[in-house]
Amino acid sequence: MSTRTSFLLLSVLLLFITACGKDKKPRVFAQNTVVYDTTLPANEAMAKYLAECNTKYFQHPKNRFASTTRAKDLESKPAPKDAKKFVEWKKAIGDEWLFAGETQKAIDSYDEALQKAKAEKVKGGISDEITYMKAIAYMRLGEQLNCIANHVSESCILPIAEPAYYVKKDPTVKAVELFEQILQENPDDLSAMYLLNIAYMNLGKYPDQMPPQYRINPEEFKSDYTIDRFPNIAANLGVDFITKSGGVCVEDFNNDGLLDIVASGWFLDEQVKIMFNNGDGTFRDQTEAATIKGITGGLDLKAADYNNDGFMDILIPRGAWWNDFGKLPASLLRNNGDGTFTDVTYETGLFKHLRPTQSAVFADFNNDGWLDIYFGNESRKESEPYYNELFLSDGKGKFNEVGKEAGVDVICFSKGVASADYNNDGWMDIVVSSQGTRNYLFRNDTGKNGGKVKFTDVTKEAGVENPIKSFPVAFLDYDNDGWQDLYIATYDADNCDYDNAAEYFNKPVKGEYSILYHNNGDGTFTDVTKQVSMQRAMTVMGLNYGDIDNDGWLDIYNGTGTPNYTSLVPKIMFRNNGGKQFQDVTTAGGFGHVQKGHGIGFGDVDNDGDQDVYEDMGGGYEGDGFQGAFYENPGTPGNNWVTIQLVGKKANAGAIGSRVKITLEEADKSTRDIYLVVSNGGSFGVNSIRLETGIGKATAIKQVEVIWQGPNTKEVFSAIPINSFVKLTEGQGTVEVLDLKPFKLAQEPLPMDHSMHQMPGM
């Protein structure tokens, strides 16, 4: 990894070392001393608590993501007299202003550093590093002035289309000049070469007007298979609000048969937003009416009906990546069924979870009909050990932590957790991705332990330890054989920029590949990534899956990137070709957005029978907010579908974990089966728990078999019409056809609400 292509990584590393205090003195762990005020109503108490944490911990100069605070802190120090130290000081200030979104201040600081280095003839390559930083700053300024301030639906989607060409071109022209200067000195710098291509695209000069020796062959952007384009209509719906990295839920929160959208940003000054679907192609902002003003933060979201009252609740994990500054509670918002939510974190016993975490999963681990919660926490060698936690529901509105007794209290840097019954024994198992160490697969042996919750680590014998630099995970049955397969995506940040460029220039990659594991049905898994044509360099954060073309085979969407402003990595959509192969349809479908890909949710938002996709696009730094993207499914003519809503009685109310087998009849009277499981989908983002699937050109549904999670009873339903919404209630044996009408999504952008589109100064 070259100095130039790793500049932000090195900066982050230095910040991390500062925050963690790598020295010979005994480590003193940061303590969360903020007091939760039990005299206030619950929502007010949590809002006050989070605001105080934001001031006390997030604004702390040793918090590596508090860029504005850090920049001001550096500027308050006396200027070093030594020329090299002065240059390094000015560069550090520039870096922080760049991360804070104050891009012109960053450029000014870099210019001062370069002038000093030239005047004093400072050696050591520092000028090259600063020049690279300056090029990135100009490129980022171009994004702020155009992609964000003058946003259009095609902004930042590769290859850049004419409607997205920049209007304010000067900063990008300067970036081009600097990148070409860099490449003249180092013609093998693939990362700079790739960014130069994007800059020329934004200026409307790719491919014909750029130097041919640096040009990406336009053929490299071609998809493996042709599908119709999914237009990004987020602005039409009013869901294009700017957040930094965050989570999304696509779910029906008011039980009106319409899928709503909830979105978060991970900073503690970012309000969680609840958008209710009006059923006429628009959304209304329910946030204030939901009484959650001041409920902020959360890199991810989860949704489930934890109290079995028939309404979906929301979980907001917090503190991810913040190390000891991330000792924050994960809010549990109870859905009151009237459009409002109550923060019940304290009263349910979850407030004791003061850990840096992004990853969590709802599942009924002891088959008692109540959903439990497993948290994957983040531990580094330099930080306090944060054991993973398992909170069991007592069925009365409280949760009790039993991770140690259950055997799942591992210490690792957990970035993704998911749950499924991978061995079909009726008990929900757990997978944990660990950034930098091997992963974990825990088999649920509660049934063999007299009903007392117990898990066994079977990672090695199952063969799923890799990739080592992992992030999101998902259980899904990609080949419809009735066994849950496992996808573990890699987050190899050190090699992200180089490997992304190497793919386009047909050079060898340096990092790990994500792995698709096929479930062999005997407790073991086989790596089939190359066999199914998914071996592609990807640095994945957001992850989810669905059926984008209604053929009955699950497709996979990868939200890519790193916090680095150099990591303009297009997202990747893989179409499942009959369970035998995956085809890259990124460009054809219009999914190749280069901003940071975080929470992803699939859901049929307009009730027309096909799944749309919503994605959070913000980055990890204060200055890296971006509009969310909503991709409207254009439909696949000739393919039929069905949407199934399960209602548990002895099983948990949302039937999470229940397994469904749909037997189809084809035109030639042959049959085939589709296997689905009720869940939120992948580990970073939330799909609706409605089972939405295409059935291809099948002419009838012969039957639907449900194995209800918890009681593990089998129930068979028949007479289910195709192209319909149906509700199946446990124990009733009857099919309720729901009268849900399709509607058109708004075709024109709504007037911009500037309160939803706030950016730092540029």
The per-residue pLDDT for range 414-430, each reduced to its tens digit, is: 999 999 999 999 999 99
At residue 146, the pLDDT reads 97
Mean pLDDT (whole number) for 299-318:
98
Per-residue pLDDT, averaged over 191-213, amounts to: 98
Query: Band of the pLDDT at 59, cuts 50, 70, 90?
Result: confident
Neighbour count for residue 221 (Cβ, 10 Å) = 15
pLDDT number for residue 63 = 87
The whole-number pLDDT of residue 26 equals: 54
What is the length of the chain?
762
Whether the predicted pLDDT of 6 surpasses 60: no
pLDDT number for residue 381: 82
What confidence tier does 24 reach under pLDDT thresholds 50, 70, 90? very low
340 with 301: CB under 8 angstroms?
Answer: no
Which whole-number Å values give the CA distances from 537 to 5, 8, 314, 419, 559, in the listed order? 17, 20, 33, 26, 13
Per-residue confidence band for 61, with pLDDT thresholds at 50, 70 and 90 = confident
Question: Strand 525-527 relative to strand 515-519: parallel, antiparallel, unpaired?
Answer: antiparallel
On the question of pLDDT at 753 being above 80, the answer is: no
Q: Report which of 300, 265, 539 is spatially closest to residue 416, judged by C-alpha positions.
A: 300
pLDDT (mean) for 192-220: 97
User: For 491-525, how does the pLDDT look when each residue is reduced to its tens digit (9 = 90+)?
Assistant: 999 999 999 999 999 999 999 999 999 999 999 99
pLDDT tens-place string over residues 534-553: 999 999 999 999 999 999 99
Return mean pLDDT, the chain: 93
pLDDT in tens, 451-485: 999 999 999 999 999 999 999 999 999 999 999 99
- pLDDT mean over 216-237: 97
| DSSP states of 690-708 | SEEEEEET--EEEEEEEEE
Q: Residue 605 is encoded by which pair of tokens?
A: 């938002």
Q: At what angle do helices 170-185 and 126-142 cross, to 10 degrees?
A: 150
CA distance 386 to 359: 13
Share of the chain above pLDDT 70, in %: 95
- Burial of residue 124 (CB within 10 Å: 0-12, 13-18, 19+) is exposed
Is residue 455 a contact partner of residue 443, using CB atoms and an 8 Å limit? yes
Express each pLDDT in 349-399 by its tens digit.
999 899 999 999 999 999 999 999 999 999 988 778 999 999 999 999 999
What separation in angstroms does the CA of 729 have from each of 395, 514, 516, 711?
Answer: 21, 38, 34, 14
pLDDT reported for residue 185: 94
What confidence tier does 109 reach under pLDDT thresholds 50, 70, 90?
very high
> Phi/psi of residue 54, each to 5°?
-60, -45
Residue tagged 């592609």 (tokens): 536
- Please give the pLDDT value at position 752: 56
Residue 314's pLDDT is what? 98
Region 205-234 average pLDDT:
97
Cis peptide before 207, with omega less than 30 degrees from 0?
Answer: yes
Yes or no: say if 605 and 277 are a contact pair by the CB < 8 Å rule: yes
Whether residue 754 is predicted with pLDDT greater than 60 in this model: the reply is no
The type of residue at 367 is N
Nearest of 705, 702, 698 to residue 723 by alpha carbon: 698
Binned at pLDDT 50, 70 and 90, residue 760 comes out as: very low
Token pair recorded at residue 387 = 């054991």
Reported confidence tier of residue 13, pLDDT bands at 50, 70, 90: very low
pTM of the model: 0.95
Give the per-residue pLDDT at 384. Answer: 86
Checking if the pLDDT of 140 tops 80, the result is yes
pLDDT in tens, 121-130: 998 899 999 9
